A and B are shown apart, each in its own frame.
Chain A
Amino acid sequence: MSDASNWTIFVNAALINNFVLAYFLGICPFFGVSSKLETAVRMGGAVSFVMLVASVCAYSINLVLEAINAPHLRIISYILVIASTVQLVEMLIRKLSPATFRAMGIYLPLITTNCAILGLALFQTNRGYNLVQAVVFALGAGAGFALALVLMAGVREKLDLASVPDLAKGTAVAMVVAGILSMSFMGFAGLGR
């Protein structure tokens, strides 16, 4: 278990070492979904939820793996559990809110290949977080991811109305925006200590 306080873990994951803007995890959905504010919010919510579930599952699996001394099975067991979690979440959303399900379309299954979820599981294992710390970490990471996504979507919606050179339209200008967002988030360093 790590010495860091829960508050430090949360702020670190959400702001200082934001998963998207500092660790480069979750870039595919970040650029794919962030063109519309509404989809961004939904995606952020879905990813946060999956992160929470995945974090608890990863913690439990790691306990088993350590008990049977099989660290080499970590990658394959984590990714299979994440894939199943996403399937479950997909079925849940389809049942509870068909409208949301239709709006999210292809992006829901794409959460499986979202590096952020697997990255979350691996980081919490490497840093030796206990269960409470892992949950706080997941909440912080999800909040940070959603925040970055929403910020990006807001900017991109405005950019659509601006006159961007043809060459830079789409991904190139989005990258520049992401770079600037990333720099601004660096200003949070030192918060929560």
Chain B
Amino acid sequence: MRTIFILTTIIFAWLIGCKKPYSPSVISSNRSMLVVEGNLNAGADSTTLRLTRTFKLDDTARLIAENNAQLTIEGRDNSVRSLSGSGNGYYTSSNLNLIIGKEYRLRIITSGGNEYLSDYVKARITPDIDSVGWDRDITGAHVYVNTGDPSGNTVYYRWNYDETWEIRSYYYSRFVYENGGVRPRLLPAEDVSVCWKNDQSRQIILANSKSLTQDIIYKKPIVTIPSGSEKFQVRYSILLRQYSLDKNAYDFFEIMKKNTEEIGSIFSPQPSEIRGNIHNVNDLSEAVIGYVTVSEEKQKRVFITRPTQWDFSLSCTSIDVPKMADSINYYFGGYQYVPYDEGPTVYLGTEPYCADCTIRGGVTTKPSFW
């Protein structure tokens, strides 16, 4: 139903309305609130939580990490486990060994001495991912997930993913411009013709089966690769992680999604207050953003090779640059062009992104799973 309204908005906007960037006169709260993100992995894998703080709208910072806090996980069975800080707000444990069905809570004591405690949450089983597939229409390729729980106990699902894709340079580069001159590239050490790029999910992906006769999730869209995207230039891989949620956690993520991703349509609900399950033990009115979940993490990695008629293209030109210092300096000195090959009297030059895949943000180290 929401899609319909978004589409309606698009229609209105397209027909007669208009959507313009807008930045209101600065309104900001001086309060800096604690943000807790992460899942306590109830499976046999590592757990990573991240503590950050909110910051002002006009702040130049993109992230304020909360380091040097003490994080402990307390079970109702009086067990205590701790997470160790690894910098940049991350706190990890290689294996918490939580027991499915038992209840746990998170205690945080910040370096500033504030103490926070989450509600008790039951450790949940997460079903396996059945399959990850994709289909294609005029807008692009849509990657989706199929999953379900034959026992019918999961109902509420959340996903996130890491994606990796291979990119190739248009021209194979055998030369490097360096210190005012051109030298042959040391191959294969300095090969920049093949790279890999990474990204992660940036949206909250949720689904539930509460209105279905069976606990199944069918073709839940995960990510859309827009037509012509470089992600499908050669080969693409997605590592999808699946978590089961209880209803309260699902509601929390849904509100956050509505508030921050699905706002603005004519029929969008208004933003609502986010209420997590973490509280300052000494000041219940203090807002803390975050919801501690305790679930198994299930993963699935799939590869997608370039589909037929995937019209990714780079616009590349090739120029002849005489092997003379002033010509070399003129064309290559400002990195407007880079050399990639040579003729008898000339270097062949092209735009940097056509010869060097690291310019396009890639790394030349092949991922271990590739």
A and B: bona fide binding partners: no
